[in-house]
Chains A and B, each alone.
Chain A
Amino acid sequence: MTIRITRTNWLDPRAVAFRDQMDAEVQPLYAHLRDRVPLVETDPETILVTLVATSDGDPVGTVALKRTGPFGEVKRLFVHERGRRLGVALALMTEIERAAREEGYRELFLQTGSAQPHAMALYEREGWLPVIPFGPYEGDTLLSRCYVKSLAEPIVAAEVNQDGSADGVLAHVTALDASGADIAFIDDGTLDGAGGPSLDAALVAAAAAEETARIALAPRVRVTHTEPFNVAKAVQSLDWSAAGRAAWLVDVSSTAAEAAAVGRRSAPQPDEAWAEAAAVIDTARRLWDSWEDDAEIRDIATGRFIDADRLHYVDVETEWFSVKGPSIVPRSPQGQIPVAVEAGTDDASIAVAAREADIVRVSGPHAADIVRRVRVAAAHRPIRILVDVDPREAVAAPHGRDDDEQLAAWAAFLRAESGADGVVLTGDAETNARAARTIARRPATAPTLRAALGLERPASRYAAATKGPTR
């Protein structure tokens, strides 16, 4: 007996026949709800893939993949009596997940019914997580039982808020590290003390580098009132301290209070502050490339410690600042340190995120729209988008088995809804660590952050210009 899965179309008579049989079997189970739960019709235009399974040539089952708003939805899994207990359902599900990955989905959803315990058991066995009824099933807790499954491992980051104490902030980061989270965004207060006392995030990150093994450390460092040269070397040095686990969450300042605390310039408008931030990022990237990887030669014969030809002035001149270079720090483990930007709903931050960032954070009710705008503007640049998720707001699925499972489903749901590649947990230390433990992939070793994000380590742009990228 051989089971074969073939791709066909929605109107394949075998598939149509199975769906009719399925309706005949299932609909009587819900007859008593018919007045209260409207029937959801399937528009054939939204069907992306239809599969039929055969056993030694006989059709035994079907399943389909449907586009439901931003979600990929598995529809109409049905196995005929003669195909049951042969693994047909599993084979169909495996194949439809593969097809969904090819379509670019990172999460899949499905809906089944409360009177089909065997179906629910199958999905739960296969790693599907219960989630609140979504999309066309929203609000229906009588009939619908919805599930989500992640097809790609999400990037799991967390926001580390400061409580004003070194011990508090470091405990939060170390708990996240133990939980398997990928990135800790370490928040920073402003120089005018608004929002209460806190510690310099870049230095907290350096201390945390010593107390963690795997997690990447991404301090928030504002660029409006700081020196581009200093910011670049601090982040680059953090990359040395953390052995390639550094990132930089770029932010701007446009409050009058912070401008007065520094006293060097008046507060810029947000658009101008972001335009300057783009220039600071570009300058930092040039400084990070200003030493080629093999600049240090220690050539005793000529007495030269470095090959000065492999160090480069960056000669940046902008309307806000100029920087000569090179960096005082040799090229760091990652070479180019991942840059993160929070894209708001304004054009300015979206433009900077799309043009300059490796990691983009989005949040709020318009997250999906921002993700779409960033992806369009970023065009072919490799970019990883993370959506803020507060694990304290995870909505209880009506049939969720425990809190952790609900959290994981909630995070996957929000990620899929927004089209992001991962999440940023924005809860307190305890809920963040618990959520990360549930959804993070926990790498066995500590790769550099670039490697964890699937980004290559580029050669210095200056080396590439003179000698080709292979040296």
Chain B
Amino acid sequence: MSKRQVHLGAHFPGVNATTIWTRPESGSQIDPASFTHFARTAERGFMDLMFLAEGLRLREHAGRIHDLDVVGRPDTLVQLAQIARQTSHIGLVATLSTTFNEPAEFARQLATLDALSNGRAAWNLVTSHDAFFGANFRRGGFLADEDRYARAESFTDAVFALWDAAGSDEEVRVSDRFFDIAARPSVPPTPQGRPVVMQAGTSPEGREIAARFADVIFSPFAAGSAAASFAADIRERLVAHGRAEDALKILPAAGFALGDTHEEALEQATRDRWDQVSPATAVRQIETIWGREFEGFDPEGALPPASDVVEGVELSAGRAKVHADHRAQAMQLIERAQAEGLSARAAVVATSTRLSPLIGTPAEVARVIDESVQAGLSDGFMLIPSITPTGLDRFVDEVVPELQNRGSYRTEWEGATLRENLGSARA
């Protein structure tokens, strides 16, 4: 019996807290040539898809534009439309919000990307949830937090209906508490009909949306029991929606570090973690957790006491909220620092970045990936390199051949469209 096949995605580093911009080899996050290099490298490595994130407003810290991470990115769809003509097989994933788009325009744009790429368009479905982003849009902060997923479902139903009607003169009508639409399809039928849908939420509502609509789910659970229970939960939800257990490809997000020896790879991973958390970034993260600014704080010294935490103050805006309970988060840092004798920055480094399972020699990393897939923990990984745009090069040159040698990774493309290469039936 043939082995389960590994699927890989490539997350363009760009605007991301894990992107390292301080090294000599760190390239432009906006020059189209960076996207070209990254896309062609991923395609050379037979990766199913290349992924662009989106941010609809620049992040802020304490009411000022956050200036410590990479800032500035292209319009996702425009950039992918250009890449569509530079590549021939890789899927092109656009992260787009159901909150600040309207179905008629949205369906047309994705279908256009599908036509321009000959069937390689994909949509990473996200919801946006506050007035912070709404300040850039006509509707403003219009949507109650608890309605985010209800609108997303209605939105996706409308978009699917428009895609399904392409080529006909059939009028699509949607009338509910979110939409009042009467539209004929404005696009020609495209190669995939329905572009591939991805989802990245881990909340129960996000998983439900994924189980209903998505072909790929992008999870944060890269290994171990968290990965196993996530996979089991997704399979259960799929069955409840009348879909096959394997209808949804699970691609955990993971950074990686490679070395000629295991020790070298560990050293590389450590260097990456320290470069991801500069002294200034460490202070910013401590301020975020403590809910207050610390003028002149020395990150090489000790952490502030837990008694300094100001509850209920959110200094960071424009990114996913990771610190639900600030005091608990502060205590965790302080305990770690005391136990290991760490400076403030070292404590942040030790706790803020998730340790990837993909650290080792190329052969070791290939084995970890393959075993995760064969064990049913995932269908592969969404790789997040830390250097723009060359961060994927070594992986493609050295890990991909190892995966191919193991018989669990493609050596040629199965089909012409992303859907064919993923082996996904239409949701």
Whether B71 and A241, one on each chain, are in contact in the complex, defined by CB atoms closer than 8 angstroms, is no
The answer to whether the Cβ of A311 comes within 8 Å of any Cβ in the partner chain is yes
Q: Is A449 an interface residue (CB 8 A)?
A: no
B135 within 8 A of A: yes
List CB contacts (< 8 Å) of B53-73 with chain A: 55-58, 64-73
Contact partner, A197, options B102, B104, B187, Cβ 8 Å? B187
The answer to the question of A85 belonging to the interface, with a C-beta cut-off of 8 Å to chain B, is: no
**A320 CA to B139 CA in the complex, in Å?**
10
Confirm or deny: B166 has a beta carbon within 8 angstroms of a beta carbon on chain A: yes
Question: Which residues from B are CB-within-8-Å of A303?
Answer: 68, 278-281
Please give, as numbers and ranges, the residues of chain B lying within 8 Å of A194 by CB-CB distance. 184
When distances are taken between beta carbons in the complex, the residues of chain B under 8 Å from A305 are 21, 67-71
A302 within 8 A of B: yes
Please indicate the chain B residues that have their CB under 8 angstroms from the CB of A197 in the complex: 166-167, 185-188
Which of A61-69, A259-267, A402-410 forms part of the interface with chain B? A259-267
B105 touches A226 (CB 8 A): yes
Contact A199 B30 (CB under 8 A): no
Complex alpha-carbon distance, A323 and B56, angstroms: 11
List residues of chain A with CB within 8 A of the CB of B181.
260-263
A200 to B77, CA, bound (A): 11
In angstroms, how far is the closest chain B Cβ from the Cβ of A136?
50
Provide the bound-state CA to CA distance between A230 and B174, in Å.
24
Write the nearest CB–CB distance from B168 to chain A, whole angstroms. 10
CA distance A356 to B147 in the complex (A): 39
Residue-wise interface mask of B (150-183) relative to A, using a CB-CB cutoff of 8 A (1 in contact, 0 not): 0000000000000000110000001000011111
Question: With an 8 A cutoff between CB atoms, is A227 at the interface?
Answer: yes
CA distance in complex: A189, B188 (Å): 11
The yes or no answer to A209 lying at the interface (CB within 8 A) is yes
Residues of chain B with a CB closer than 8 A to A198's CB: 186-188
Chain A residue nearest to B65 in the complex (CB) = A308
Decide: B72 and A291 in contact? CB cutoff 8 A.
yes
Q: Mark A207-232, 1 if CB is under 8 A from B, else 0.
A: 10111000000000000011111100
Segment touching A, from B109-117, B224-232, B346-354, B372-380: B109-117
Q: How far is the CB of B35 from chain A (nearest CB, A)?
A: 9
B74 touches A240 (CB 8 A): yes
Contacts of B135 in A (CB 8 A): 322-324
Asked if residues A193 and B185 are in contact (CB atoms below 8 Å), the reply is yes
Pair A207/B82 contact, Cβ less than 8 Å: yes
A468 at the interface (CB under 8 A from B): no
Known: A199-B116, A261-B184. A306 touches B67 (CB 8 A): yes
A308 touching B105, Cβ below 8 Å: no
- B371 → chain A closest CB, angstroms: 37
Q: Is B341 an interface residue (CB 8 A)?
A: no
Closest partner residue, chain A, to B166 (CB atom) = A197
Query: A207 near B30 (CB under 8 angstroms)?
Result: no
Bin chain B's interface residue count: 35 or more
- Residues of the B chain whose Cβ atoms lie less than 8 Å from the Cβ of A115: none
Asked whether B22 is an interface residue with its Cβ less than 8 Å from the other chain, the reply is yes
Q: Is B86 interfacial (CB-CB < 8 Å)?
A: yes
Q: Knowing A240-B74, A328-B56 touch, does A308 contact B180 (C-beta < 8 A)?
A: no
A204 and B30 form a contact (CB under 8 A): no
Q: CB of B321 within 8 A of chain A?
A: no
**Is B222 on the interface with A (CB-CB < 8 A)?**
no
B294 at the interface (CB under 8 A from A): no
Does B136 belong to the interface (CB within 8 Å)? yes
Q: How far is the CB of B71 from chain A (nearest CB, A)?
A: 5
B140 within 8 Å of A by Cβ?
yes
Nearest chain B CB to A235 CB, angstrom units: 8
**Is B198 located at the chain interface by the 8 A CB criterion?**
no
User: Once the chains bind, are A311 and B65 in contact (CB under 8 Å)?
Assistant: yes
B116 touches A203 (CB 8 A): yes
Instruction: Check if A203 sits within 8 Å of B112, measured CB to CB.
Output: yes
- Neighbouring A residues of B57 by C-beta, 8 Å: 324, 328
The listed residue (B75, B100, B111) touching A329 by CB distance below 8 A is B75
The answer on a CB contact under 8 Å between B188 and A304 is no
Q: How far is the CA of A230 from the CA of B369 in the complex (A)?
A: 38
Interface membership of A30, Cβ < 8 A: no
Complex: how many Å from CA A123 to CA B295? Answer: 79
Q: How far is the CA of A328 from the CA of B371 in the complex (A)?
A: 40
Q: When the two chains form their complex, are residues A329 and B74 in contact, meaning their CB atoms are under 8 A apart?
A: yes
Q: Is there a chain B Cβ closer than 8 Å to A164's Cβ?
A: yes
Q: Are A330 and B186 touching (Cβ within 8 A)?
A: no
Contact A328 B79 (CB under 8 A): no
List residues of chain B with CB within 8 A of the CB of A444. Answer: none
State how many angstroms separate the Cβ of B310 from the closest Cβ of chain A: 23
Q: Is B32 an interface residue (CB 8 A)?
A: yes
Cβ-defined contact, B137 with A227, below 8 A: yes
How many Å lie between the Cα of A283 and that of B108 in the bound state? 24
B244 within 8 A of A: no
B81 contacts the other chain (CB 8 A): yes
Contact residue among B55, B65, B86, B185 (Cβ-Cβ distance under 8 Å from A210): B86
CB neighbours (8 Å) of B65 from chain A are 306, 308, 311, 326
Provide the residues of chain A in CB contact with B137, threshold 8 Å.
227, 229, 321, 323
CB contacts (< 8 Å) of B278 on chain A: these are 303
Do A225 and B102 touch across chains, with their CB atoms under 8 A apart?
Answer: yes
A residues in contact with B84, CB < 8 Å: 207
- Of B135, B139, B140, the most chain A CB neighbours within 10 A belong to B135
Q: How far is the CA of A321 from the CA of B188 in the complex (A)?
A: 31
| Interface contacts beyond A260-B183, A323-B135, A324-B135: sample of 20 additional A-B pairs, CB < 8 Å, sorted by A | A191-B104, A191-B105, A199-B188, A200-B109, A227-B138, A229-B136, A237-B78, A240-B30, A241-B32, A263-B104, A302-B280, A304-B67, A304-B68, A304-B280, A305-B69, A308-B67, A311-B71, A322-B135, A326-B58, A328-B55
A-B pairs, 8 with minimum CB distance: A303-B280, A261-B183, A237-B75, A206-B81, A324-B135, A193-B184, A210-B85, A303-B278
A residues with a Cβ closer than 8 A to B are 164-166, 189-194, 197-200, 202-204, 206-207, 209-211, 225-230, 233-234, 236-238, 240-241, 243, 260-264, 291, 296, 298, 300, 302-308, 311, 320-326, 328-330
Contact residues of B with A, CB < 8 Å?
21-22, 30-32, 55-58, 64-75, 77-79, 81-82, 84-86, 100, 102, 104-105, 108-109, 111-113, 115-116, 135-140, 166-167, 174, 179-188, 278-281
What are 25 A-B contacts defined by CB distance under 8 Å? A197-B186, A199-B112, A199-B115, A199-B187, A200-B109, A200-B112, A203-B81, A203-B112, A211-B85, A228-B138, A230-B75, A240-B30, A260-B182, A261-B184, A263-B179, A263-B182, A303-B281, A304-B67, A305-B68, A305-B71, A307-B67, A311-B65, A321-B137, A321-B138, A323-B137
